[in-house]
Amino acid sequence: MRSVSHTTQLEIAYVCRRMPPDVEAAMQARFTVNLNESDALLSSTAIADHARGATVLFVTATERIDGELLRQLSPTLKTVATLSVGHDHIDLATARELGIEVLHTPDVLSDACAEVALMLLLNAARRGFEADVMVRSAQWRGWAPTQLLGKGLVGKRLGIFGMGRIGRAIATRARAFGMQIHYHNRSALTPDLAEGATFHPSLENLCQHSDMLMVAAPGSPQLKGALDAAHLRALPRGAVVVNISRGDIVNDDALIDALKTGHVFAAGLDVFANEPDIDPRYRELDNVFLSPHIGSATEETRNAMGWLLIDGLAALRRGERPANLIT
């Protein structure tokens, strides 16, 4: 009998950014991978060019996956897989219309993002930037009773704007620091999820009751500029503000004014409008603690995010509906 050899045709995947080594290896084993070797940020036009013919497009929150790009790739594209929980960079309505599936990475990054949230909160409240500079620059003349006095967390009210998976992981940690949890969501959580946190029906209401405010709501066009001058004024004088969500939720002019007048004592920011070209005025302020969008940046988490996408794709190809499918 003649033996027939079958060669399996692997799907073509275009990978827009460099991934952790294990994730790249797993992708190479499952797809014919075209990789953006240089890791440079790609415009939609460049992606359209490089990804022509691909059935899978691996992206991150740094790529803008607009309707035009999806249309250009739609003759072959079946799935967009984003290494992020946020999906405000993808035109979901067009993806839906074209029958393109979109996968994202919820849950696996909640703990890592919550850790950075607490890192920012502590550094803002306890003046981490100024403390580091003082020691590093050899300006420290020794201990003093009035040196670098900050704000303690114990007994303070932490207002969490966006009490989803990440917001709740932040609440768990903040409770361990002795904070009382308040939150604003579109609707109140069930008691098992709220764990005693106080619901506020509006952001303004939340601000009025927050000694420290944590922005953890998912980015979306509707929330652009949501934390504006009026909301910041509603915070008690000397409040601390942290943002680990998306930069454009905060009105930069309003926050910078409030930081300059001292109405807001300090801020901790991991995300910015127009990254990486942030509002340069933040660099001049000693009372902001800045980090470059590192919420999910641990080896374990980035690997888990990669695997969630790879496993999700395998499930889709088996005809299943994985939990991390958005459209």
Which residues form the catalytic set? 246, 275, 293
113 is a site residue for ligand 8YV (CB under 6 A): yes
By beta-carbon proximity to ligand 8YV, the closer residue of 33 and 83 is: 83
Q: Contact between 84 and ligand 8YV (CB under 6 A)?
A: yes
Whether the Cβ atoms of residue 313 and residue 56 lie closer than 8 Å to each other: yes
Question: Does 308 participate in binding ligand 8YV (rule CB under 6 A)?
Answer: no
Interface positions, 139-158, toward ligand 8YV (CB under 6 A): none
Contacts to ligand 8YV from residues 48-67, by CB under 6 A: 61
Residue 271 in the binding site for ligand 8YV (CB under 6 A): yes
Please say which residue, 123 or 296, places its beta carbon nearer to ligand 8YV: 296
- Core vs surface per residue 106-129: b (16+ CB within 10 A) or e: bebbbbbbbbbbbbbbbbbbbbbb
What pairs with residue 31 in β-bridges?
none
How many other CB atoms are there within 10 angstroms of residue 179's CB atom?
A: 21
Residue 293 near ligand 8YV by CB under 6 A: yes
Tell me if 94 contacts ligand 8YV by CB under 6 A.
Answer: no
> Under the criterion CB under 6 A, does residue 270 sit at the interface with ligand 8YV?
yes
DSSP string over 173-214: HHHHTTPEEEEE-SSPPPHHHHTTPEE-SSHHHHHHT-SEEE
Interatomic CA distance for residues 80 and 75, integer angstroms: 14
Q: 13 vs 113, which CB is nearer to ligand 8YV? A: 113
Helices 110-125 and 299-317 pack at an angle, to 10 degrees, of 150
Instruction: State which residue, 12 or 161, has the beta carbon closest to ligand 8YV.
Output: 161
Structure tokens at 189: 């959580």
What DSSP string describes 278-326?
Answer: --GGGGG-TTEEE--S-TT-SHHHHHHHHHHHHHHHHHHHTT---TTB-
Least distance in angstroms from the C-beta of 217 to ligand 8YV: 11
- Work out the angle at residue 202's Cα, subtended by the Cα atoms of residues 166 and 242, and round it to the nearest 5 degrees: 40
305: amino acid identity, one letter: M
Assess 85 for contact with ligand 8YV (CB under 6 A): yes
In the complex, least distance from residue 322 CB atom to ligand 8YV, rounded to whole angstroms: 17
Nearest residue by C-beta to ligand 8YV? 295
**Location of structure tokens 């940690």:** 173
Least Å from the CB of residue 88 to ligand 8YV: 8
Binder among 42, 244, 250, 309 for ligand 8YV (CB under 6 A): 244
Q: Which is nearer to ligand 8YV, 86 or 128 (CB)?
A: 86
Taking CB under 6 A as the criterion, the residue among 16, 27, 86, 327 binding ligand 8YV is: 86
Among 159, 167, 247, 295, binds ligand 8YV (CB under 6 A): 295
Piece of the chain touching ligand 8YV by CB under 6 A; list 34-42, 44-52, 84-92, 280-288: 84-92
Cα separation, 74 vs 95, in Å, equals 9
Q: Which residues bind ligand 8YV (CB under 6 A)?
A: 61, 84-86, 109, 113, 116, 244, 270-271, 293, 295-296
